[in-house]
A and B are shown apart, each in its own frame.
Chain A
Amino acid sequence: MIEINELKAAVEEGLKLVEKKKGVKEAEVYASSNHLSTMRICYATNVPSNGLEEPKSQEDFGLSVRVLFDNGMIGFGSVDSDLSSAGIEEAFRKAERNKVMDTDFHSLPSPNGKPKISNYHDKEIMDSDDGRMIDSAWGALNAAFNTLKANDFKKNLNITGELNYLGERMAVVNTNGIDASDESTISLGTLTTIFELDKDVAGMWFDSSPMMKNLDVEKIGSTSVEKALKLIDSKALDSGDYKVVLGRQVVSDLMYSRFAVELDSYDQKSTPYVGKLDTQIWSDKMTVGDDALLKDAIGTKAVTDEGLPTSKTELVKDGKLVNLLSNDYYAKKYKDDKRYNSANGFRFGGGGRNYGSDAGIHATNIVVEAGDYNDEDLVKEVKDGIYIGRIWYSYPVNGQASSDFTSTIRGDSYIIKNGEIDKGLIPNTFRINDNLDRIFNGVIGLSKEKLATIAWAEEAVVVTPEMAVESIRLDRIAKGLY
């Protein structure tokens, strides 16, 4: 990876070049370097497999220039793998050629404070030791094998998932005085163990941390197996409305799927929450925010990709929608509403902070505030119902402006009987057909403990407790199989 000082030097020298150009009113120079290592694990007993399917990496670095010209036009240009003055010149040429008259653009960001955190990245991930990462992946798989051996389980099964290690560095300066840089790291891992018996059984575990040393890969392997083992002897249930406890992954998946509170979505009317700011959208037990400063969470960032300090933004307070996430562009477009804080302008694009694209609006760590229940008390509260631990492919099937969603129950789920966890629920036998706002209006209670969860292709996390709700609509599926 490119060192942070090289990125800083490149943007500083770059700005000196660009600001002298004819016709430049304001200019921004941004540079980043990213390195993503992925260890994709694919093991099976009933088909030949590789164990560690893909030890691989992707890397990039480059810079971009954003220019507001005297005639009010805005242009963006970028170059790959080049931090030199020639690269700056090329990026500027592109910005000049690509300029458009965007009447919603007001100005580049201006400084509004200092970053509240610093030096929170992991040098070990930045140095990306291939050997250590490959060893980690086999360590996770071997821990799963050892747990299976300890339980004398020798039947058809597969274990799949991955470990990801991402290092990202950025620096940005502009003619309005922005001068910021950031180094952040992410390690995350997940494994799903599926026993392919007469009835399938699926257990999943995950972990995430900004620090590689804190990622407990052996626990990921052993816990995914332990969770699957607990689910043997599962059964299916009939369609109906069920009182449920939603596990943390489920709350997280629903948030990713339907909690669209970015100001650009609001602007384009692509969210269920258009016109609902300052109104009660959910139960008063629900308080949700975006916290970019959360310690030891993988979504944490010190500065945005516009060079502004990050912060904590309360989004839902006691069930009322009180704010939206914004970047500098949209905060200025809607400048009459002072609550929009420009704290979420990021260039996330899968695999790091992307010099090749402009800053959009992205969440960092979405935090659902905890309640006062122990996990087991939530189960007691439900008394008779279902504990749903993992859902799958939650999508807004009736469109972006509706809170309707559907998904299937994938695994880690149980029947609750007389306030106790009873038998497992056979995965892939229920489809949820419901509405997020209806569900979150029926919150009975939340647990005390919040944990970070992850989702496919997401770099942010949702930190959430478990949640008991009055009802979820479940339709029985896959009757031909089970």
Chain B
Amino acid sequence: MALTIESLENAKDSLPKALNEFSAKNTDVYLADARIEVFEGKSAAAIQGNIKGATEDWGLSTGIRCFAKKDNVIAGGFIGRSMGESELSNIELELEEMLGIAIKRARRNAGWKAKAINDAGFFGKGLRSTELADIEIAVDNWEIPYKKNPRDVSLEEVIKRVEDNSKAIQGTEGIASNTVAMVTGLGRKIFASTEGALIDQKKALTEAFIYVVAQGKAIETFYDTLGSWKGLEVLDGENEFEKNFEEFGKFLAEGTVELSNAPAMKKTENATVILDPWYNALLSHEITGHPNEADRALKKEAAWAGRAWWFSGIDDNKFGEQVASEELTVFSDPTIEGYGNYKYDDEGVKGKRIINIDKGILNEFLNSRETASILGKEPNGGMRATSAEDMPLVRMNNTCFAPGSWKKDEIFEDTKEGYYIVGQKIPSIGETRQNFKITCWKVYEIKNGELGQLYRSGGVTGDSYTVLKSIDAIADDFSIHNIPNCGKGTPMQTMKVGNGGPHIRAKATVSGSHMGE
């Protein structure tokens, strides 16, 4: 029997019941919450026009967080599980067992933390009993509307569409290889807590991935996705590229073939660059989105994901200071369309639009209940986990550069010499996000406001503050490009987020081929 989003209906009773019984039995519980999530969908992948695999399946997972007090100190314990049908039919027993494991971990952890606070002298002062900021407890249902139900397409149709698109791309002159994949389905997540929250959220997902390898004078590779929390209408053109699945494949294939015959970009310092919204998705993501995540700023991700250059400590940070041009405002908004769209985060906090950078001034981080408590802020609903078995982290939602007042054409007309940076490619960012190198799909030379020579192997690099401060023109156009695979956490979770903005003009170094071709 296949599980569907309807199969979770009983869990809406089971989760609160299990949590209430658990809370009644264990008086040392500060807070426990449970998430259960199902996704039912169809997918297929093809390489070089040859279908490689297809699935019509579902996945179910559950996660528990428990914060418990021991020796007057609160600490957490967590557990996640992938599940099958039999566990769902016995979900209360499963939850009871998982809550038992989580509280055991929380108690042992709290005991050690209490000992360190008392015994570690100077170093004990860095530890704190966990506190979560108060929130309005929600009981709510929410879903994103969609037009074409993913259930209405057969697996055979999915296979055919993927294979046909891959064949068409492979038939493009100059294409050496391609990979095409897509997924479409329905997801549902239920959250409940010992505080009484019960939140039921549903979304459709349709996403397509295309990777092309072009062989011209050089080999050039490129990939991107189009996707949305919608139904099959995404593949008909209701996406950030305003292209259907097949047009998107043709666009990437022909553009990359053209690029493979273009000369390699040579590193050019102190250049005027006009960055397109597609490129700005990755730029806003890497140098403003991540360092605005409060867990990163509070050093929780320092080992692998890194820190935030504008926050050293509670009393040593750049809040209220200029960190970018006064032309630039950066916001995070889970209430608008994009992969960062949700009503409640995975702590049951209602998401809201916040201004991270207000006219160049550092203003507010995305936060969790714990980091909000530490920073003395209102929780703004930034905690998300990739699946219910993962533990939530602070994640950007739709974090974007806000539109400005220039017309796009005016920016070009006003640019005598420079480079037009088109499309996002691959990022490498400094540990505190203080420096970046993000490559792009295409670089065009600009002369007297007109596009000229096309270059491959280009990108933009610079110190974040210097580049953000140099922004002198922001267009009134705006689009969000979805990023499906943002990595963070241990074990690494890949999250879907929305980023973007308008056309922006700045000063930076344009990077080129490292071999100086």
Which chain A residues have a beta carbon within 8 Å of chain B's beta carbons? Answer: 36, 38, 40, 42-60, 62, 76-82, 87, 90, 94, 97-104, 130-131, 134-135, 138, 141-142, 145, 148-149, 154, 156, 158, 160-162, 164, 190-192, 194, 196, 204, 267-270, 274, 350-351, 356, 358, 392-402, 404-408, 410, 427-428, 431, 433-435, 438, 456-457, 473, 475, 477-481
Contact B125 A45 (CB under 8 A): yes
* Min C-beta distance of B338 to chain A, whole Å: 24
Residues of A contacting B176 in the complex (Cβ-Cβ under 8 angstroms)? 269
Q: Complex formed: what's the CA distance from A427 to B517 in Å?
A: 30
Residues of B contacting A479 in the complex (Cβ-Cβ under 8 angstroms)? 463
- For residues 305 through 361 of chain B, which have their beta carbon under 8 Å from a beta carbon of chain A? 306-307, 309, 312-314, 316
Contact partner of B457 among A398, A407, A427, A456, CB < 8 A?
A398
* Min C-beta distance of B104 to chain A, whole Å: 6
Closest 8 CB pairs of A and B: A81-B84, A46-B313, A56-B78, A60-B82, A48-B128, A457-B492, A160-B303, A80-B84
Q: Complex formed: what's the CA distance from A11 to B128 in Å?
A: 49
Contact A399 B312 (CB under 8 A): no
Residues of A contacting B389 in the complex (Cβ-Cβ under 8 angstroms)? 58
Q: Complex formed: what's the CA distance from A154 to B429 in Å?
A: 30
Residues of A contacting B430 in the complex (Cβ-Cβ under 8 angstroms)? 392-393, 408, 428, 431, 477-478
Write the chain B residue with the least CB distance to A104.
B50
Contact partner of A142 among B60, B81, B116, B313, CB < 8 A?
B116
Residues of A contacting B122 in the complex (Cβ-Cβ under 8 angstroms)? 45, 149, 154
Contact partner of A79 among B51, B84, B316, B426, CB < 8 A?
B84
Contact A408 B123 (CB under 8 A): no
* Min C-beta distance of A264 to chain B, whole Å: 9
Contact B298 A47 (CB under 8 A): yes
Contact B312 A194 (CB under 8 A): no
Residues of B contacting A141 in the complex (Cβ-Cβ under 8 angstroms)? 116
* Min C-beta distance of B362 to chain A, whole Å: 15
Contact A398 B155 (CB under 8 A): no
Query: B300 on the interface (CB 8 Å rule)?
Result: yes
Q: Complex formed: what's the CA distance from A164 to B76 in Å?
A: 17
Q: Complex formed: what's the CA distance from A38 to B390 in Å?
A: 11
Residues of B contacting A62 in the complex (Cβ-Cβ under 8 angstroms)? 82, 84
**Which of B9-17, B186-194, B214-222, B397-405 participates in binding chain A?**
B214-222
* Min C-beta distance of B117 to chain A, whole Å: 9
Residues of A contacting B155 in the complex (Cβ-Cβ under 8 angstroms)? 97-98
Write the chain B residue with the least CB distance to A48.
B128
Contact partner of B439 among A162, A358, A398, CB < 8 A?
A398
Contact partner of B428 among A44, A406, A428, CB < 8 A?
A406
Contact B435 A80 (CB under 8 A): no
**Contacts known (A80-B83, A160-B302, A477-B463); A269 close to B437, Cβ less than 8 A:** no
Q: A47-B299, A57-B78, A398-B513 are in contact. List 7 more A-B contacts (CB 8 A).
A: A43-B127, A45-B122, A59-B81, A134-B105, A145-B120, A204-B303, A408-B435
Q: List 15 A-B contacts (CB under 8 A).
A: A45-B125, A46-B313, A47-B314, A50-B130, A55-B109, A78-B57, A97-B56, A142-B120, A190-B303, A269-B176, A406-B514, A428-B435, A434-B514, A457-B491, A481-B309
Write the chain B residue with the least CB distance to A78.
B57
**Contacts known (A103-B50, A401-B219); A54 close to B78, Cβ less than 8 A:** yes
Contact partner of B78 among A55, A77, A154, CB < 8 A?
A55
Contact B104 A130 (CB under 8 A): yes
Write the chain B residue with the least CB distance to A90.
B1
- For residues 78 through 100 of chain B, which have their beta carbon under 8 Å from a beta carbon of chain A? 78-87
Query: B142 on the interface (CB 8 Å rule)?
Result: no
* Min C-beta distance of B505 to chain A, whole Å: 21
Q: Complex formed: what's the CA distance from A148 to B121 in Å?
A: 11
Query: B195 on the interface (CB 8 Å rule)?
Result: no
Contact partner of B177 among A82, A194, A268, A477, CB < 8 A?
A268
Contact B514 A401 (CB under 8 A): no
Residues of A contacting B199 in the complex (Cβ-Cβ under 8 angstroms)? none
* Min C-beta distance of A338 to chain B, whole Å: 24
Q: Complex formed: what's the CA distance from A74 to B426 in Å?
A: 35
* Min C-beta distance of B139 to chain A, whole Å: 27
Residues of B contacting A400 in the complex (Cβ-Cβ under 8 angstroms)? 213, 221
- For residues 174 through 214 of chain B, which have their beta carbon under 8 Å from a beta carbon of chain A? 176-177, 179, 211, 213
- For residues 414 through 449 of chain B, which have their beta carbon under 8 Å from a beta carbon of chain A? 425-432, 434-435, 437-439
Query: B227 on the interface (CB 8 Å rule)?
Result: no
